[in-house]
Amino acid sequence: MTIYDIKVKTIDLKEIDLSQFKEKVILIVNTASTCGFTPQYESLEKIFKKYKDKGFEILAFPCNQFNQQEKGNEEEIKNFCRLKYDISFPLFAKIEVKGKNQHPLFKYLTENKPGLFGSKEVKWNFTKFLLDRKGRIIKRYAPATDPLSIQKDIEKLI
């Protein structure tokens, strides 16, 4: 199995295959609208605009598992992201990133790229996974890592 075998739902609840992102450098992020790290949307949008024409994608997956910091439905999330941060990268339907109902995408990511001390669980909102053009997980970043600080890693892959 590869990341390209996984199906996800867009923020408009349309099911797609991640295979449509083949040959792209991808940053996958679990997000939330009322988290202390929510302002990272601004940094994410900056790096998306800077690198999107070079084959870079950001895939944002809202999650309500951490202190219910993503209570809204998909329409509310989409409106918040577009109005407050003018997000132009793909947003997806709310998912669970840990636990018994963990989405297959995050199961794949966490099993193949454990966090600090080998932990396979996502610990908080805005955990980030950087993948190369072949879908290999290159690096996992902590929630506090500002997306602007990982530009050198992105540039190596582009």
Over residues 3-32, the mean pLDDT reads 96
Over residues 93-116, the mean pLDDT reads 90
Rounded to an integer, what distance in angstroms lies between the CA atom of residue 146 and that of residue 158? 19
Q: Which of 28, 29, 32, 35 is catalytic?
A: 35
Which residue in the block uniquely carries the two structure tokens 């991808």? Answer: 26
pLDDT digits (tens, 9 = 90+) for 38-59: 999 999 999 999 999 999 999 9
End-to-end CA distance of the chain: 24
Does 35 participate in catalysis according to the annotation? Answer: yes
Say if strands 128-131 and 25-31 run parallel, antiparallel, or are unpaired: antiparallel
